[in-house]
Copies of this chain bind each other. A is one copy, B any other.
């Protein structure tokens, strides 16, 4: 058989035999893969709405994050001012009301379905928003909370945690824990769910690690979406999906700069910044969500595998063609509706009632 008729399966089988010999493994240089430039069409196996989102070009300035505390603050503020145009019509469509409040000194939003079925009477979801620990203050945090309240028909408290330059690590986690501790006085731990995406996904995992440290009971279930679970740039999809993901775009872009701004010199390896390094034993049932073009695809699947290896019941959802956290955008995108239906069904299955 000539080399030109070597099949994929045979080539790999031969490689396995060769490479698993310990001597060969030590000596084999780990060659990177050279992937040529590609022009990748918008996939036609997703909804027209998602196709329109996928077709959006990389946004201006993806690689020029603010460089000063004032710059970050100004960016976050302008986002918050613009958020109402997305959040309020969505809340109306999904029949949920939004009220500002305060819990033990922490700013929150209460996002409440107009109708709450008896099954959900004692249930309470805590939302920790994304935005690389620095963005999405105020109403900008709420699209995901509105989607969850709308599809789960459960009460949601969204934590408007302190962010830099007002307060640095671990202020966001401290605020989330304040609300979690308060929630434990409102209802049974098993009736509580915690969710959030991106930095909010990381915070959800960090809360579980902190709850173990503080000997607090775990909630009934959690839903960390595409968690920023490794702030040290480990994770293959940081490279494979770079410049393909039209939200985060590149590990050298926005989000890592923001996370370092939040960490304020603290070691990024700390499980309270990179929860992939934590111990997941005893975590509650967990559902994770990501997309095939997500820069954090790898870190989501790494967390999923680590949960399974820690004996935790863990489910994984991966949406075709989606970049980072695009399942949290808008109820008019069919895939976003589907994501929140599936996450809601998981919470409904695992929370007490």
Contacts and interface: CB of A to CB of B under 8 A. Distances in A.
Interface of A: 1-17, 19-20, 24-25, 28-45, 48-49, 51-57, 59-62, 64, 66, 71, 74-75, 78-79, 82-83, 85-86, 130-131, 135-136, 140, 143, 230, 234-237, 239-244, 246-249, 253-255, 292-293, 297-298, 301-302, 304-305, 308-309, 315-321, 324, 326, 329-330, 332-333, 338, 342
Nearest to A62: B8
15 contacts: A9-B131, A12-B329, A13-B143, A15-B56, A16-B53, A28-B55, A30-B51, A30-B54, A33-B40, A35-B243, A36-B243, A40-B240, A236-B320, A237-B292, A240-B244
A140 B292 contact: no
Contact of A40 (B131, B239, B253, B254): B239
Contact of A338 (B12, B242, B292, B305): B305
Contact of A301 (B247, B302, B318): B318
A288 to B, nearest CB: 10
B74 A5 contact: yes
A86 B60 CA distance: 52
Given A4-B60, A66-B5, A308-B342, A82 B34 contact: no
B8 A249 contact: yes
Nearest to A59: B11
Integer count of this chain's copies in the complex = 2
A52 B8 contact: no
B8 A324 contact: yes
A326 B239 contact: no
B36 A48 contact: no
Contact of A332 (B20, B24, B293, B318): B20
B235 A45 contact: yes
Contacts of A140: 9
Contacts of A38: 34-35, 239, 242-243
Contact of A59 (B8, B20, B244): B8
Nearest to A230: B45
A51 B25 CA distance: 9
B7 A30 contact: no
Contact of A315 (B30, B36, B315): B315
Given A8-B247, A239-B41, A19 B56 contact: yes
A65 to B, nearest CB: 8
A80 to B, nearest CB: 10
Contact of A41 (B32, B54, B301): B32
B316 A20 contact: no
A1 B36 CA distance: 36
A53 B25 CA distance: 10
A293 B237 CA distance: 9
Nearest to A330: B16
A43 B236 contact: yes
B40 A35 contact: yes
Nearest to A242: B38
A269 B225 CA distance: 34
A78 B320 contact: no
Contacts of A338: 305, 309
A268 to B, nearest CB: 15
